[in-house]
């Protein structure tokens, strides 16, 4: 195992991936280590969700390699990738509407000790504790999104993939959720790969950025370097501002 992969790391190595034999993303090479915050941006349809889905084994890896902790995982089923330490908060709040908040959390624990995991989740999102008996369908958009993040966290991932967690949220709720994610990343050393339409939010959050244009990376480097290139941000991305 190369020295650079000793701590847990998600690596995309010249990845081409898509669906049914057709490529959506091509030539992707970047990585997310524990403790690192990476932002992934691009216009609608650029391939951001496909990139995350490829890491999880939910899109077709067609070329190159995806590695987790140094192991190629191209043939590994999704649940095993999760077990190795990859967490996923899919777009659109993937929670069970008919289960309570607490039942949603317990259902994601897969045999882990319930009480400490609940304490951790409620410590991060006190609002979920207050609503713990509410059904998933009796939550506000922000609370649903907090629950979606908390569900991913109770499985104790080492790298977390977040697909537009702020979508549809009011600015105040967005701030609250981002603060919780930042706190988590700082306190636990969780690595984060954040896909987000709100470019200012993701630039504030991330140390490293990847920019996709029609499935091809047109930038991969430090957030600082991307900030210094507003022409690239404006022309290639055209993202909505906060
Ligand atoms: N399951 C699928 N089967 C076939 N094609 C798909 C599938 N999911 C996405 N695509 C196609 O892949 C391309 C990229 O989609 P993707 O969802 O990865 O983009 P995105 O950057 O996340 O977009 P958005 O910002 O709108 O969420 C699109 O052309 C889309 O139609």
Mean local confidence (pLDDT), 126-138: 92
CA-CA-CA-CA dihedral for 74, 89, 182, 100, to nearest 10: -140
- The strand pair at 60-68 and 37-42 is best described as unpaired
Output the CA 197–ligand 1 centroid distance in Å.
15
Output the CA 51–ligand 1 centroid distance in Å.
9
Task: Find, among 51, 27, 55, the residue nearest to 195 by Cα.
Answer: 51
- Within 6 A (CB) of ligand 1 lie 19, 24, 42, 44-50
pLDDT at residue 240 tops 80 = no
What lies within 8 Å, CB to CB, of 195 at 6+ separation is 39, 40, 41, 48, 49, 51, 52, 91, 161, 162, 163, 164
CATH number of residue 61's parent domain: 3.40.50.300
Mean local confidence (pLDDT), 89-102: 88
pLDDT at residue 3 tops 70 = no
Residue 62: which domain range? 1-83+158-166+195-242
Note the helical H segments in the chain: 48-56, 78-84, 101-107, 114-124, 126-130, 141-153, 171-188, 199-205, 223-227, 230-232
Domain for residue 35, yes or no? yes
Tens-place pLDDT, residues 164-188: 999 888 888 889 889 989 988 888 8
Domain for residue 44, yes or no? yes
Contacts 24+ apart (CB under 8 A), 222-228: 223/39, 227/203
ipTM of the complex in this document: 0.96
Q: What is the DSSP letter of 95?
A: -
Domain for residue 106, yes or no? no
Residue 236 confidence (pLDDT): 65
Domain for residue 33, yes or no? yes
Number of the ligand 1 atom closest to the C-alpha atom of 197? 25
pTM of the model: 0.91
Alpha-carbon gap, residue 34 to 114, rounded angstroms: 24
Output the CA 16–ligand 1 centroid distance in Å.
14
Domain for residue 173, yes or no? no
Return the best residue to mutate from 15, 20, 24, 53 for the ligand 1 pocket (most ligand atoms within 8 A of CB): 24
Alpha-carbon gap, residue 31 to 207, rounded angstroms: 12
Residue 210 confidence (pLDDT): 96
Alpha-carbon gap, residue 202 to 196, rounded angstroms: 6
Q: Could you tell me the end-to-end alpha-carbon distance of the chain, in angstroms, rounded to an integer? A: 42
Task: Find, among 66, 71, 42, 46, the residue nearest to 55 by Cα.
Answer: 66
Nearest CA to ligand 1 atom 2: 19
If one counts the domains in the chain, the total is 1
pLDDT bin (cut points 50, 70, 90) of residue 6 is low
Domain for residue 95, yes or no? no
């Amino acid at each position: 195992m190369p020295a650079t992969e000793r701590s847990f790391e998600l690596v995309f190595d010249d990845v081409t991936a898509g669906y049914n034999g057709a490529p959506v993303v091509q030539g992707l090479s970047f990585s997310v280590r524990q403790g690192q915050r990476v932002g992934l941006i691009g216009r609608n349809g650029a391939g951001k969700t496909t990139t995350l889905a490829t890491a999880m084994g939910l899109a077709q890896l067609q070329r190159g390699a995806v590695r987790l902790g140094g192991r190629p995982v191209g043939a590994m089923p999704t649940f095993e990738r999760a077990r190795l330490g990859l967490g996923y908060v899919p777009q659109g709040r993937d929670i069970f509407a008919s289960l309570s908040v607490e039942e949603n959390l317990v259902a994601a624990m897969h045999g882990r000790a319930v009480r400490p995991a609940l304490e951790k989740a409620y410590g991060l999102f006190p609002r979920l504790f207050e609503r713990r008996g509410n059904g998933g369908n009796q939550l506000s958009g922000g609370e649903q999104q907090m629950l979606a993040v908390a569900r991913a966290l109770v499985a104790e991932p080492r790298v977390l993939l977040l697909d537009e967690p702020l979508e549809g949220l009011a600015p105040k709720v967005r701030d609250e959720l981002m603060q919780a994610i930042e706190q988590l990343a700082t306190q636990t050393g969780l690595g984060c790969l954040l896909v987000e339409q709100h470019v200012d939010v993701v630039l504030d959050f991330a140390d490293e950025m990847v920019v996709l244009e029609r499935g091809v990376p047109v930038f991969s480097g430090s957030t600082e370097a991307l900030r210094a290139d507003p022409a690239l941000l404006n022309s290639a991305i055209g993202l909505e501002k906060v």
